[in-house]
């Protein structure tokens, strides 16, 4: 079946603007994760959704970052008042059940803040 999809693939925005990134998980996957990959660095965990449970937001770097997920479907990551340090690749992953621990990653959205 289809994998995790993300849109847009690339986004260039001016400093101070808001951006919204979208993730479509694999159908039937209850868990969804957002990560950030800055140039030359590893991935940083941002936020985790599991079903109807309260999300784990412990990785969000500031209150400019927020994310939503409706049920077990699409998720959006919103960055308000973007800063240059927000430039990165934002990756989404989904997992069938948390116990399986295998996460399937999307291709990412490359965000450039000018």
Site for other proteins in 88-107 (CB under 8 A): 91, 93, 95, 98-99, 101-103, 105-107
Residue the block writes with tokens 């990551």: 77
Q: How far apart are CA 82 and CA 15, in angstroms?
A: 5
Give the distance, in angstroms, between the CA of residue 9 and the centroid of all CA atoms in the same chain. Answer: 12
Q: How far apart are CA 25 and CA 89, in angstroms?
A: 17
Smaller CB distance to other proteins: residue 53 or 73? 53
- Residue 20 is encoded by which pair of tokens? 């919204």
Q: What is the DSSP letter of 28?
A: T
Angle at 98 between CA 94 and CA 101, to 5 degrees: 75
Select from 13-21, 28-36, 62-70, 71-79 the region that touches other proteins (CB under 8 A): 28-36
- Site pattern 60..89 for other proteins (x: CB under 8 A): ------------------------------
If one asks whether residue 25 binds other proteins (CB under 8 A), the answer comes out as no
Residues of this chain that interact with other proteins (CB under 8 A) are: 3-4, 31, 33, 35, 41-45, 48, 50, 56, 59, 91, 93, 95, 98-99, 101-103, 105-108
């Amino acid at each position: 079946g289809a994998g995790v999809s993300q849109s847009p693939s690339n986004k260039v925005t001016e400093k101070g603007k808001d951006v919204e990134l979208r993730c479509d998980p694999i159908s039937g996957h209850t868990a969804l994760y957002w990560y950030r990959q800055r140039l030359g660095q590893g991935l940083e965990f941002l936020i985790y959704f599991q079903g109807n449970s309260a999300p784990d937001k412990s990785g969000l770097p500031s209150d400019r970052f927020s994310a939503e997920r409706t049920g077990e479907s699409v998720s959006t990551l919103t960055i308000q008042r973007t800063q240059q340090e927000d430039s990165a690749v934002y990756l989404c992953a989904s997992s069938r059940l948390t116990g399986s621990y295998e996460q399937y990653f999307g291709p990412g959205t490359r965000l450039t803040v000018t």
